[in-house]
Amino acid sequence: MIAEPQPAGPNHRWVERGVTVGIAVFALIVLAGSIQAGVGWGVEGPKAGFFPFYIALLILIASVVNFVQINATVPRDHLFVEWGQLRLVMTVVVPTTIYVALVPYTGIYAASALLIGFFMKQLGRYQWAQVAAVSIMVPLLIFVIFEKWFLVPLPKGPIEEFLGF
């Protein structure tokens, strides 16, 4: 029997260990914040930090248990994700991150046009004419639906300001 080449990727155990540690760090931050807010008893009953303090404690305990159980529950060679799959995931994460970063500066409509345009041109390999058509039509449609019909204001940028909105 010919063995198929094993797909490669980050090992699941290590990624899950990282996630569990991350959760524990989060719990520690919450612990610190709760102590800052006061953990004991005040005149109005339990202080503001009382509840979050014990919550964070529970998270820590649970994280320790989860960390220990990783070796038992996850097979040694199990992959968290294949590199190829991760690349596909990144093709969404990276443009979306840039999109989210742009929104406060360019307004949501311009940023959306760029996002749709990027997806269609880079990943979909459409012609410029189709790309331009869709990536301009959709934000325009959204503008009409949200701003005019539902009266929900969305962040605008220099282009909209220039047009007088």
Of 3 and 44, CB closest to other proteins: 44
Contact 61, 7 (CB under 8 A): no
Asked if 156 is part of the footprint of other proteins (rule: CB under 8 A), the reply reads no
- The single residue among 132, 136, 154, 157 that binds other proteins, judged by CB under 8 A, is 154
Q: Least distance from C-beta 1 to other proteins, angstroms?
A: 27
Near other proteins in 81-140, by CB under 8 A: 81-82, 85, 88-89, 91-93, 95-97, 99-100, 103-104, 108, 112, 115-116, 118-120, 123-124, 126, 134, 138-139
Residues 35, 40, 41, 44, Cα dihedral to 10°: 10
Residue labelled with tokens 């914040």? 33
Q: Which residues bind other proteins (CB under 8 A)?
A: 15-16, 19-20, 23, 26-27, 30, 33-34, 36-37, 41-42, 44-52, 55-56, 58-59, 62-63, 65-66, 69, 73, 80-82, 85, 88-89, 91-93, 95-97, 99-100, 103-104, 108, 112, 115-116, 118-120, 123-124, 126, 134, 138-139, 142, 146, 150-155
